[in-house]
């Protein structure tokens, strides 16, 4: 056994981000087990600073993580913003930088220059390559919910975070039930999407690996609403292209892309090329006089911050306790993924 970890939970700089990777109840368990947990103040986080203090965490000002001791693990969810110098700590967050995404070479180069380590939560996996912790269920739930509300003409912008009960009440209101397809229906995202659609009274068509291995493009385009929840780590045949949107037999009118692999070789919906934001959640594609609306928000679980954070933290906290265990299999795999990406993008072993 190694020394107990020092985990530094940073404030999220993204304006609409209210989630937390570690909730107060789980922080208390880590502290009780001997870990040190430092939490930055955050006016946006859905859990108040006072709850972390009561859990035994040390509270420090927001944005002070660059001055944290070298042995700290800096824990967050999204990009921390760029400090004055290259990163030197061990960072844990969703960087989405190991598949050649836009800006990945620059980010990995900065880690190489600073000597830091990026433990990307996307690559915290088991021996079969399955992700151990993810917000996927809540991403699928929120993505499908937004698509239904938009199809019914009831999606108000800018979006704002809510509780699940509030969102479910909106979904239960009477309205259209568009013919809906969920791709990746058996995965975490797909399950979340299906549950939201059930609340809305919609029974979707369900496609998973067997149905998408040989894509029936005409059948896909016959649906009015598509919730795309297929994640891939390698390029594959696109599901919807710009040419598909020009087809006269297309019924497809709304796409909710939960995966948001835009600007990546793994982008399976190349009919659009940029994500959407809370201020303007819908991108309208002028396709042959019959537009297609795309919802592609890359932090969908933030719309349900309390429920999403609680579920995510429950899976992550036990793994955080093992951060300093020599040869811990999950963290070792995660660091190896970083080293491979570093070599591929920055040429550093």
Please list, in sequence order, all residues whose beta carbon lies within 8 angstroms of the beta carbon of residue 123, skipping any fewer than 6 positions away.
Answer: 98, 333, 334, 337, 338
The closest alpha carbon to 240, from 261, 218, 259, belongs to 218
Is 11 in the active site? no
Candidate list 78, 99, 328, 344, residue with the active-site label:
78
Nearest to 23 by CA among 2, 54, 66, 1: 54
Q: Are strands 117-120 and 90-93 parallel, antiparallel or unpaired?
A: parallel
Find the catalytic residue in 96, 150, 164, 228.
Answer: 96
Chain-centre distance of CA 56, in angstroms? 28
Decide: residue 292, CB within 10 A, 0-12 exposed, 13-18 middle, 19+ buried.
buried
User: What is the C-alpha to C-alpha distance for residues 132 and 134, in angstroms, rounded to an integer?
Assistant: 7
Whether 96 is catalytic is: yes
- The residues assigned a catalytic role are 78, 96
């Amino acid at each position: 056994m190694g020394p107990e970890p020092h985990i530094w939970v940073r404030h999220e700089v993204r304006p609409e981000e209210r989630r937390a990777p570690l909730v107060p109840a789980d922080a208390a368990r880590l502290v009780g087990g001997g870990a040190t947990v430092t939490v930055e103040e955050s006016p946006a986080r859905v859990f108040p600073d006072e709850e972390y203090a009561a859990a035994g965490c040390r509270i420090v000002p927001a944005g002070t993580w660059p001055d944290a001791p070298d042995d700290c693990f800096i824990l967050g969810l999204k990009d921390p913003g760029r400090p004055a110098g290259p990163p030197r700590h061990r960072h844990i967050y969703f960087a989405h930088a190991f598949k050649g995404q836009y800006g990945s070479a620059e980010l990995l180069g900065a880690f190489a220059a600073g000597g830091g380590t990026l433990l990307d939560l996307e690559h915290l996996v088991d021996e079969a390559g399955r992700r151990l912790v993810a917000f996927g269920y809540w991403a699928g739930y929120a993505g499908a919910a937004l698509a239904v509300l938009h199809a019914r003409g009831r999606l108000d912008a800018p979006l704002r975070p809510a509780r699940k009960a509030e969102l479910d009440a909106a979904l239960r209101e009477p309205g259209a039930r568009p013919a809906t397809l969920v791709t990746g229906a058996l995965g975490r995202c797909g399950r979340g999407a299906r549950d939201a659609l059930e609340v809305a009274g919609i029974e979707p068509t369900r496609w998973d690996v067997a149905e998408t291995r040989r894509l029936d493009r005409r059948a896909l385009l016959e649906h009015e609403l598509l919730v795309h929840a297929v994640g891939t780590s390698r390029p594959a045949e696109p599901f919807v292209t710009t040419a598909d949107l020009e087809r006269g037999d297309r019924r497809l009118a709304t796409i909710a892309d939960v995966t948001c692999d835009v600007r990546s070789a793994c982008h399976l919906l190349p009919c659009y090329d940029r994500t959407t934001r809370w201020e303007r959640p819908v991108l309208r594609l002028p396709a042959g006089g019959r537009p297609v609306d795309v919802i592609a928000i890359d932090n969908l679980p933030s719309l349900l911050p309390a429920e999403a954070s609680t579920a995510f933290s429950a899976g992550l906290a036990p793994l955080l306790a093992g951060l300093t265990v020599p040869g811990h299999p999950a963290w070792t795999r995660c660091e190896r993924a970083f080293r491979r990406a570093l070599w591929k993008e920055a040429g550093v072993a």
